[in-house]
Chains A and B, each alone.
Chain A
Amino acid sequence: MTSRSKEKIAFAILTLTTILVTMPVILIVATIVKQGIGAINIEFLTTFPRNGMREGGIYPAIFGTLCLVAGAVVFAVPLGVGAAIYLNEYAGENLLTRLIRLAIINLAGVPSVVYGLFGMGLFVIFLNFGASILAGSLTLAVMNLPVIITASKEALSAVPQPFREVSLSLGASRWQTVRHIVLPNAVPGILTGIILEVSRAAGETAPILFTVAAFYLPGLPSSVFNQVMALPMHLFAISTQIPNISLETRYGTALVLLGLVFLVNSFAIVMRAILRRRRKW
C-alpha cells in the first residue's frame, strides 16, 4: 500500500471517530428538545409544583438556581479577578507563586461532591449558616474560583507587555497601569470566564446537595439564610425519588436546565468570537 492511500484510510478513520465523539452532543440535545418541548409552557415556567411534584411547574427551582448563580458570581468574581491580577501583574517567579498555582490546579481537580462535604463542614455547620443560599453560593464560588482565575489570567496576559511599559514609562504607577490599560483591554476575556462560571454553577448538583438544595419547598426564600430548590437538584429528585412522574415533565425540566446552560454558554462563545475579530494588536 502506498503511503498516500495509507494516509487516506487513516484520515477516514480519524474523521469517523471524531463524528462518533461529537455525535452525542447533537443526539443529547435533539432527544431532550424533542421529548421535553411539549412540557414547556408559561405555566410550567411560572408556577409551583403540585401534587407531590407530579404536576404544575418548576418556577421555584428556576428561581433558586438564579439565586445560587448570582451568589456564586458575587463571591467568586472579585476574589478570582484579584487573584488573577496578583498572579499576572504583581507576583514574581518565586515559591509562593508556585504554591498558588499548585493550589489552583488542585482546586480545579477536587471532585464536586468533596466541595459539598467542605461546604457542609465549613459553611453549614462550623460557621452555622445552616443549609442556605449563603452556604450554597459560597460552596459554588470556591468550586468555580479556578475557572475565573484561569480565564482572567489568560485575558490579562493577552494584553501586550509593551502597553504596560509605555504606561509605566509615563510615570503611571503599577495599579494605574492595571486599572487604566490592562483591565479595560482584558474585560471581554474576563467576562467570558465569568459566563463560563455561571454556566457551570447553574448545572452543578453535588456541591449543593448538602449545603442548600431542598427537595420541595412551598414558598420562595425570604433571605439568604433560607433553603431554595434548584433546577439540577429538582431534575435529580423527580428522576430518582418520585415514582409515576411523567417522562415529559422530567424531559421538560432537563430541557430548561440544558437551555439555561447553553444559552449562557453561547453568550461566552459569541463574545469570544467578536473579541478575536476586534482585537487590533
Chain B
Amino acid sequence: MHQRSRFDSVREFIVEKTVLLSGLASIVFVLLIFVFLLKEGLRTFGIVSLEDFLLGRKWYPISSPPKFGILPLIGGTLAVTVGATLLSVPFGIASAFYIAEVAGPRMKEMLKTGIELLAAIPSVVIGFLGMVIVAPFIGDLFDLPTGQTALSGAVMLSLMAMPTIVSIAEDAITAIPGKYREAALALGATRWEYICRIAVRAAAPGIVAAVMLGIGRVIGETMAVMMITGNSAQIPHSLLQPVRTMTATIAAEMGETVPGGDHYAALFAIGLVLFVITFFVNLVADVFLHKDRGTVQ
C-alpha cells in the first residue's frame, strides 16, 4: 500500500510533539512556581522553625533580631476572607438563582454582562475606590480613628469574589436537567418551590465549588487589600481593626528586601503558604465541580 510523502509524516510528527509540549507547559509552570518558591523560601526554616513561622505572633521583619511569625498575617487574611465570604456568598448565590431561574432572556444577558464587567475591573481600581470612598465612609460610620479596616477590605473583596461565585453557581443551576423542572412544575409546584426543594439540592456541588473558588479569589487578592486594610500586622480581634494579609505583606515589603536575604526568603515562604492553601482550595472546588450532578431523590 502506498504511503504518504515523507514530508507529510514528518510534519504530522512535528505538530503532534509541538502541541504535546504546549500541553506539558502548564505542568512545567506549576512545578517551576513550586520549585522557585521552595528555592528562595525554604531557607527561612533554617532561621525559624516551621511552627514558629506559622504560629509566631510577631512579624517584625526588620528589627534585629528579626521576628518572622506570620500568625498576624494569617489572621488578617482570615478576617478579610471570612468577612468577604459572609457578604458575597448569600448575595452571590441569590443572584445566581435570579439570573438562572427568574430573569427573562434580555435581563439575563444584561446581568451577565454586568457581572462580567465587574470581574474585569482591575483590583487596583477597586483598591483606589475603597481607599477614597469606602474606607472613610466606614470610618465615619463606626466612628473609628481610621476606616482602613478588615471590614473595608471585606466589602471591596466581596465585590471581587462576586463574579466568580455568581457565574459558576449560575452554570451549575442552568446545568440541572430540564426534566426535574418540568416534573416539579407539572406536579403543581411553583417555580419558587422548585428552586427551594430541587434546584438547590441538584446544584449543590456546583454551588460549593463556586463558593470555594470565590474564597480562593479572596485569599489571593493583593492590591485592593493592600490599599484598603490599613497594613497593620497585628492579630485582629474584630473586623473593625486594621489588618495586613499575607498577600499584602509580600507586595508591600518585597521592594525593601535584599534578594537572598532573610526577609526576602521569609516573603517567599509566605508565598509558599499561599500556594499550598490556594492549591487545596482549587482542588476541592474542582472535585465538587466534577461531582455527578442530579442526585435528587
Binding site for B on A (CB under 8 A): 3-4, 6-7, 10-11, 13-15, 17-18, 20-22, 24-26, 28-29, 31-32, 78-83, 85-87, 89-91, 99-100, 102-118, 120-122, 125-126, 142, 145-146, 149, 173-175, 199-200, 202-206, 209-210, 232-233, 235-236, 239-240, 247, 250, 254, 257-258, 261-262, 265, 269
Q: List the one stretch of B64-72, B129-137, B139-147, B174-182 in contact with chain A.
A: B129-137
The answer, yes or no, to whether B296 is at the interface (CB within 8 Å) is: no
Write 13 A-B pairs (CB below 8 A) sorted by A numbering. A17-B94, A17-B95, A32-B129, A80-B22, A86-B19, A86-B22, A103-B29, A106-B279, A118-B37, A204-B123, A206-B247, A209-B251, A240-B131
User: B12 to chain A: which residues have CB within 8 Å?
Assistant: 173-175
The answer to whether A121 and B22 have CB atoms under 8 Å apart is: no
Contact check, A254 vs B125: say whether CB atoms are below 8 A apart.
yes
A17 engages B98 (CB within 8 Å): yes
Determine if B278 is an interface residue (Cβ-Cβ < 8 Å).
yes
Are A31 and B113 within 8 A (Cβ)?
A: no
The residue of chain B having its C-beta at the shortest distance from the C-beta of A6 within the complex is: B192
Which residues of chain A have C-beta atoms less than 8 A from B126's C-beta?
A: 28
Decide: A117 near B131, CB < 8 A? Known: A22-B115, A107-B30: no
A206 touches B30 (CB 8 A): no
* From B94, B133, B221, B282, contact of A14 by CB (8 A): B94
A22 and B24 contact, CB distance less than 8 A: no
Describe B's contact surface by its main secondary structure.
helix
A146 to B255, CA, bound (A): 28
Find out whether the CB atom of B11 lies under 8 angstroms from the CB atom of A142.
no
Number of A-B contacts (CB under 8 A): 262
- Write the chain A residue with the least CB distance to B20: A86
| A118, B36: Cβ atoms closer than 8 Å | yes
Contact status B117-A262, CB under 8 Å? yes
- Name the one of B29, B40, B102, B128 contacting A250, with C-beta atoms under 8 angstroms: B128
Complex CA gap A6/B191 in Å reads 11
Q: Which of A13, A109, A239 contacts B227 (CB 8 A)?
A: A239
- 6 interchain residue pairs of minimum CB distance: A111-B220, A203-B122, A82-B22, A109-B282, A86-B23, A121-B36
Count class of interface residues, chain B: 35 or more
Chain A binder among B43-51, B200-208, B236-244, B266-274: B266-274
CA–CA, A13 to B271, complex, Å? 41
Please tell me if the beta carbons of B118 and A25 are within 8 angstroms of each other in the complex.
yes
In this complex, the member of B90, B125, B131 whose beta carbon has the largest number of chain A beta carbons within 10 angstroms is: B125
> What is the bound-complex CA distance between A149 and B92, given in angstroms?
26
**Which residues of B lie under 8 Å from residue A240 when comparing CB positions?**
131, 227
Of A3, A21, A114, A122, the residue contacting B91 (CB under 8 A) is A21
Q: Does B86 contact A (CB under 8 A)?
A: no
| B117-A25 in contact (CB<8A) | yes
- Given the known inter-chain contacts A235-B124, A239-B128, A250-B128, please indicate yes or no for A122 contacting B32, CB distance below 8 A: yes
Is B288's CB within 8 Å of the partner chain A?
no
**Cβ contact within 8 Å between A7 and B193:** yes
- What is the CB-to-nearest-CB distance from B293 to chain A, in angstroms, rounded to a whole number? 18
| Residues of B with C-beta under 8 A to A10 | 192, 195
The answer to whether B91 touches A20, judged by C-beta atoms less than 8 angstroms apart, is yes
Residue in B closest to A124 when the chains form the complex, CB atoms? B259
